[in-house]
Structure 1
Amino acid sequence: MNEAIEKIKRGRRKRRRRWIIVNGLLALFAVVLSGTMLVMGNTVYSIPEVIAALSGDASGGADFAVNTIRLPRMVAGLLAGIAFGIAGNTFQTMLRNPLANPDILGITTGSSVAAVYCILILQTSEGTASAAAIIGGLTAVVVMYALSRGRTFSIGRLILIGIGIQAMLSSAISYLLMKGGRQDLPTAIQWLSGSLNGSQMDKLGPLAITVLICVPVVVVLGKHLSILELGEQSAASLGLNTDRTRILLIISSVAMLALATSVTGPISFVAFLAGPIAKRLVGVGYSNVIPAGLVGVNLVLGADLIGQFAFDVRFPVGIITGILGAPFLLYLLIRMNRKGSLS
């Protein structure tokens, strides 16, 4: 008996050590990518020059490039990566399906429709378009959740309704692009592709506040999220208020997702990739929330650096994450089909 207990304790310590090491390495890699974004550009500055610019001791080109262009871009990528990664992982874990991410469920598309309508049809300011994106994302998830309720909550029904909403909203975006004025099309297309270009520090405050509030909520509910993964009946038998927990998780995730989308546009596949990658790295036994956020940060920052400096033409970050995510989606579908998950 004592030997079995000791074996369980050793296994738990091993899993905890792995969780700490993986998170430490992910955080270290994120710091390296963040520093690289501050150093790299049309003009490459040394680390002492970057530090001087951040501390206010530099002037001229270095001060402008670092504080006005590169720092807001890096912070936007950092916050968006955390938001997309944690929100995607929350939906995938809660709905027990790696395909149940905000991109496929139509949440980010809801934000996109509202923003594109403001840009092309109403021709409003960027602030109004961002606010509309938040409202659009929240509206999409409310409609999806309400239609999936029925007498009891159904995960399969929610996913199917979400896919239907996503297809309908994608058609609406295509219609708006055809009807919009030519002078506004480049702005709308750049926003839809997902981009960190033009990020400004004074516009990142709402996203930063939302991330600081919602991430701790999701982390605290991480244990309940793992219980929800066992299924509706099992979670209820363990005394969990499934409706309340699910609503809190959805509100927190959608708030982060909508704010991030309003700032950077729908950066494709980050919400889809972060959770499964983090789960592979960390393994089972501990919450996947923080690792998913860190993976999201590394995906966004890494993809932006690739898009900016790996090719002769500069690509928005969403183009690069789309290229990375599409093969992974095909791999996941093939893997699920072999296991019978799609039958």
Structure 2
Amino acid sequence: MRSHQLVQGALRFASLSILSNHQVTRVLLILVLLTLAVLGISLSVGDYPVPPLDIVRAVLGLKTVDPESPFVVVTLRLPRVLISWLVGLGLGLAGVILQGLTRNPLADPGIIGVNAGAALAAVTLIVLFPAAPSFALPLAAFGGAVVVALLIYLLAGTGEKSPLRLVLVGVALAAIAGAFTSFMLTFGKINNVSRALVWLAGSVSGKSWEQVWSLLPWLVVFVPLALWQARELNTLQLGDAIALGLGSSVALRRAGLLLVSVALAGACVATAGTIGFVGLMAPHLARQLVGPMHESLMPVAALMGGLLVAGADLLGRTLFTPTELPCGILTAALGAPYFLYLLYQSRRRKT
């Protein structure tokens, strides 16, 4: 019986791996071009419009037609645009890992409570220790995300256990973390609370190069680690018994992947606040374009996540000008109906 399972798993693995490299390349190229277009428009539009040629010259350090363009582009807008894209990239990749790790299409750092744990730790730091250095915020958020992830792992488990149970445990822990976050906001000093509330809305407004350099090391370390373990995610998709038969150290690999996902989500939440549903939408949209194999899925989902957050930030700046909407509000407005749609689709498949 075990041999039969191994053969079936190997055949399934082989069938899933048949994917056109040309298709993946085309999708990646289109996403890169769309991303460059969105980032370029974000750098151009605003209260002080900048011509496209001046944007290129300012970024390259060349002389611009308008002497104010370098300050507007490089100092004010470029850090915000980069952070929006990097945060989306990290959240999209974290969502892919969680969905593959749990074999649950509804898994997402925001839905299952990882973001709420990161938010609680970050708000605690902002309210109680407002003078803490900027690099401490990602560390605190990472610690809060790890605690919630471990609780989910212990209470609901992964792998063969019910995916619905994982979601329910995550929602419960998110509610608990949200209650403690509200407690911190209720008794904190008004200036610190105001800063925390703006952060909780999920906004990249007012970000500087300091936040870029705080976020970048986390992505430089954990994005390659995530891509390197794509093949292990494919193996875990076959089930614990088959993965063990194929020689995979299931417990060790699962713990490593969970650590990578939590680190990416925690760093992104610490930088930009709770930008929800990106880790849910990006993997599903990517899966429709390139299929389920993680070697292709992970880079496409990462680019899709970056495009979603950068696009949401652009729309938040321009739709109701001069009022700005935090990008987290727009991703939630789009992601919540999409989540309900996925629930409906899942129910239809079961019936």
Q: Residue 119 of structure 2 aligns with which residue?
A: 112
Given that 2:125 and 2:140 are in contact with CA atoms closer than 8 Å, whether structure 1 keeps it comes out as yes
Q: Residue 131 of structure 1 aligns with which residue?
A: 139
- 1:222 aligns to 2:222 (yes or no): no
Q: Residue 166 of structure 1 aligns with which residue?
A: 174
Whole-angstrom distance in 1 between the partners of 2:122 and 2:173: 17
Q: Residue 254 of structure 2 aligns with which residue?
A: 246
Q: Residue 75 of structure 1 aligns with which residue?
A: 82
Whole-angstrom distance in 2 between the partners of 1:231 and 1:14: 22
CA shift in 2, pair 1:118/1:229, >3 Å: same
Displacement of 1:119: 2.1
CA shift in 2, pair 1:194/1:97, >3 Å: same
Amino acid corresponding to residue 140 of structure 2 in structure 1: A
Q: TM-score, with normalisation over the residues of structure 2?
A: 0.87
Matches within 5 A, 1:304-323: 304-312=313-321, 313-323=323-333
CA shift in 2, pair 1:136/1:284, >3 Å: closer
Say which of 24, 35, 41 aligns to 1:30: 35
Larger deviation, residues 56-65 vs 285-294: 56-65
Whole-angstrom distance in 2 between the partners of 1:234 and 1:246: 15
Displacement of 1:48: 1.6
- 1:45 aligns to 2:54 (yes or no): no
- 1:188 aligns to 2:196 (yes or no): yes
Whole-angstrom distance in 1 between the partners of 2:194 and 2:291: 43
Displacement of 1:14: 6.2
Whole-angstrom distance in 1 between the partners of 2:292 and 2:114: 28
Whole-angstrom distance in 2 between the partners of 1:340 and 1:14: 27
- 1:103 aligns to 2:130 (yes or no): no
- 1:333 aligns to 2:343 (yes or no): yes
Given that 1:53 and 1:62 are in contact with CA atoms closer than 8 Å, whether structure 2 keeps it comes out as yes
Whole-angstrom distance in 1 between the partners of 2:50 and 2:79: 17
Query: Any unmatched runs of 5+ in structure 1?
Result: 1-8
Deviations 1:155-214 (A, max 9, x none): 645444323211211111222222223333321111111111121113322421221222
Q: CA RMSD in A?
A: 2.4
Displacement of 1:13: 7.2
Q: Residue 3 of structure 1 aligns with which residue?
A: none
Whole-angstrom distance in 2 between the partners of 1:242 and 1:158: 18
CA shift in 2, pair 1:75/1:65, >3 Å: same
Aligned residues: 332
Displacement of 1:253: 1.6
Whole-angstrom distance in 2 between the partners of 1:249 and 1:236: 16
Amino acid corresponding to residue 282 of structure 1 in structure 2: V
Q: Residue 295 of structure 1 aligns with which residue?
A: 304
Whole-angstrom distance in 2 between the partners of 1:149 and 1:332: 22
Whole-angstrom distance in 1 between the partners of 2:231 and 2:37: 31
Given that 2:87 and 2:272 are in contact with CA atoms closer than 8 Å, whether structure 1 keeps it comes out as yes
Given that 1:193 and 1:318 are in contact with CA atoms closer than 8 Å, whether structure 2 keeps it comes out as yes
Name the SS of the counterpart of 2:203 in structure 1: coil
Name the SS of the counterpart of 1:25 in structure 2: helix
Displacement of 1:16: 2.4
Query: Any unmatched runs of 5+ in structure 2?
Result: 1-13
Whole-angstrom distance in 2 between the partners of 1:155 and 1:241: 21
Deviations 1:229-248 (A, max 9, x none): 12212211221111121122
Given that 1:15 and 1:283 are in contact with CA atoms closer than 8 Å, whether structure 2 keeps it comes out as no
